[in-house]
Structure 1
Amino acid sequence: MMRAVSAAEIAPTTYPWAVHAEKLVVRAGRHVAVNGLDLALNTGVHGLLGPNGAGKTTLMRALATVVEPAGGRLSLLGDDLTGRADPRRVRRNLGYLPQHFGFYPRFTVREFVEYMAWLKEMPKTVIPGAVQRAVERVGLADRADSRMKTLSGGMLRRVGIAQALVNDPQVLLLDEPTVGLDPEQRMGFRDLLRELGMDSCVLVSTHLVEDVAVACTDVVLIHEGRLVWQGSTAELARQGTAADAGDSATERGYSALLRAYRGQVSG
Structure 2
Amino acid sequence: MRAVRAAETAATTHPWAIHADGLQVRAGRQLAVNGLDLALTTGVHGLLGPNGAGKTTLMRALATVLTPAGGRLTLLGRPVDGRAELRPVRRALGYLPQHFGFYPRFTVREFVGYMAWLKEMPKATIPAAVQRAVDRVGLTSRADARLKTLSGGMLRRAGIAQAIVNDPQILLLDEPTVGLDPEQRLDFRELLRDLGTDSCVLVSTHLVEDVAAACTDVVVINEGRLVWQGTPEGLTTQGDHSHAGDSPAERGYSAVLRRHRAEAAR
For the superposition of Structure 1 and Structure 2, which TM-score range results when normalised by the shorter chain?
A: over 0.9
Equivalent in the alignment of 1:60: 59
- Give the deviation of 1:135 after TM superposition: 0.2
- Give the deviation of 1:106 after TM superposition: 0.4
Q: Secondary structure at the match of 2:141?
A: helix
- Provide the C-alpha distance between the structure 2 equivalents of 1:26 and 1:129, rounded to a whole number of angstroms: 37
- Give the deviation of 1:16 after TM superposition: 1.3
- Provide the C-alpha distance between the structure 2 equivalents of 1:238 and 1:6, rounded to a whole number of angstroms: 49
Q: Say yes or no: does 1:72 pair with 2:71.
A: yes
- Provide the C-alpha distance between the structure 1 equivalents of 2:5 and 2:85, rounded to a whole number of angstroms: 30
Equivalent in the alignment of 2:119: 120
Q: TM-score, normalised by structure 1?
A: 0.98
Give the counterpart letter for 1:142 in structure 2.
S
- 9-18 or 248-257: bigger deviation: 9-18
- Provide the C-alpha distance between the structure 2 equivalents of 1:2 and 1:141, rounded to a whole number of angstroms: 45
Give the counterpart letter for 1:220 in structure 2.
V
- Write the deviation string for residues 191-215 of structure 1: whole angstroms up to 9, x where unpaired: 0000000000000000000000000
Give the counterpart letter for 2:199 in structure 1.
S
Give the counterpart letter for 1:202 in structure 2.
V
When the two chains are superposed, the root-mean-square deviation of aligned CA atoms in Å is: 1.0
| Identity among equivalent pairs (%) | 76
Give the counterpart letter for 2:12 in structure 1.
T
Q: Secondary structure at the match of 2:103?
A: coil
Q: Secondary structure at the match of 1:125?
A: helix
User: What runs of 5+ residues in structure 1 fail to find an aligned partner?
Assistant: none
Give the counterpart letter for 2:226 in structure 1.
L
- Provide the C-alpha distance between the structure 2 equivalents of 1:261 and 1:7, rounded to a whole number of angstroms: 49
Give the counterpart letter for 2:133 in structure 1.
A
**Aligned residue-pair number:** 266
- Give the deviation of 1:9 after TM superposition: 3.4
- Provide the C-alpha distance between the structure 2 equivalents of 1:156 and 1:114, rounded to a whole number of angstroms: 15
- Provide the C-alpha distance between the structure 2 equivalents of 1:220 and 1:156, rounded to a whole number of angstroms: 27
Equivalent in the alignment of 1:103: 102
What are the residue-to-residue correspondences of 1:182-221 with 2, within 5 Å?
A: 182-221=181-220
- Provide the C-alpha distance between the structure 1 equivalents of 2:72 and 2:234, rounded to a whole number of angstroms: 28
Q: Secondary structure at the match of 1:221?
A: strand
Give the counterpart letter for 1:228 in structure 2.
V
- Provide the C-alpha distance between the structure 2 equivalents of 1:73 and 1:9, rounded to a whole number of angstroms: 28
Give the counterpart letter for 1:157 in structure 2.
R
User: What runs of 5+ residues in structure 2 fail to find an aligned partner?
Assistant: none
- Give the deviation of 1:242 after TM superposition: 1.2
What are the residue-to-residue correspondences of 1:1-267 with 2, within 5 Å?
A: 3=3, 6-267=5-266
- Provide the C-alpha distance between the structure 1 equivalents of 2:104 and 2:134, rounded to a whole number of angstroms: 17
Q: TM-score, normalised by structure 2?
A: 0.98
- Provide the C-alpha distance between the structure 1 equivalents of 2:189 and 2:150, rounded to a whole number of angstroms: 22
- Give the deviation of 1:8 after TM superposition: 3.4
- Give the deviation of 1:6 after TM superposition: 4.9
- Provide the C-alpha distance between the structure 2 equivalents of 1:259 and 1:39, rounded to a whole number of angstroms: 21
- Provide the C-alpha distance between the structure 1 equivalents of 2:22 and 2:241, rounded to a whole number of angstroms: 35
Give the counterpart letter for 2:27 in structure 1.
A
